[in-house]
Copies of this chain bind each other. A is one copy, B any other.
Amino acid sequence: MTLFDRLKADAAPQWADYTRHSFVEQLGAGTLPLACFKHYLVQDYLFLIQFARAYALGVYKSHSVADMRQSLEGVKAILDVELDLHLELCGSWGMDRTAIENAPEDTPTMAYTRFVLDAGMAGDLLDLQAALAPCVIGYAEIGARLAAEDCDDDANPYQRWIREYAGETYQDLAGSFTEWLNGTAEQVMTEQRYPRVLSLFEKACRLESDFWQMGLNVKD
């Protein structure tokens, strides 16, 4: 059993709360209030900036050039591609670039991102990967499921978001990340250490749920 499969099984309730959160279900059904989605999108932009820092930390923490290059892919994906895609998506909803860049970070945004950064800095590469995993892999699972459930519904205003995470580029990135995590675990995981890694994973799932809830809490 790979580490990821084991973590997902042992944190099944937290994983389900996160990946089947009401925000996600409403997004898939196209019934999510636009104000909720917009708030989420702005915070997700700020979130990605911190995640680029976390991947950069992965480069710093790597013990091999191969690991450095794997981590670098994450930094590039965000700084060279995703941030601009986000601004473009925001623009298509009439949201202003400067407003997005200057929006204050909400508490759930700070909570999740700083948790990941600290887990990674205090621990080793595996700790960093375990804290990143719910986001990186969870979005791929959510995207694929929503796309499968709702594959032709062009009426869904969130279709583009769904297709981005269901698309081959993101699915490959998440698949590659999963292999990387499992490969690191084969090197450094011990049974005594497992409960601590599981705890990082569970906390990260919970902080992801809080992040969705932050979106839902927005009133029009």
Contacts and interface: CB of A to CB of B under 8 A. Distances in A.
Contact of A60 (B111, B122, B186): B122
A163 interface: no
A115 B117 CA distance: 9
A110 B105 contact: no
Given A114-B115, A190-B189, A210-B107, A72 B76 contact: yes
Interface string A49-83: 10011001101111101001101100110010001
Q: Give the one of A56, A62, A65, A79 with max B CB within 10 A.
A: A56
A105 B57 contact: no
B60 A53 contact: yes
Given A107-B107, A206-B107, A65 B83 contact: yes
A207 to B, nearest CB: 7
Contacts of A124: 123-124, 127
Given A56-B57, A59-B59, A186-B192, 13 more contacts: A53-B62, A53-B122, A56-B56, A56-B68, A56-B71, A59-B75, A60-B60, A69-B79, A107-B206, A110-B115, A124-B127, A187-B190, A187-B193
Interface of A: 49, 52-53, 56-57, 59-63, 65, 68-69, 71-72, 75-76, 79, 83, 101, 105, 107-108, 110-111, 114-115, 117-118, 121-124, 127, 186-190, 192-193, 196, 203, 206-207, 210
21 contacts: A49-B65, A52-B59, A53-B68, A53-B122, A56-B57, A56-B72, A57-B60, A59-B59, A59-B75, A63-B122, A65-B83, A68-B79, A72-B76, A110-B115, A110-B207, A114-B117, A118-B118, A121-B121, A187-B193, A188-B192, A188-B193
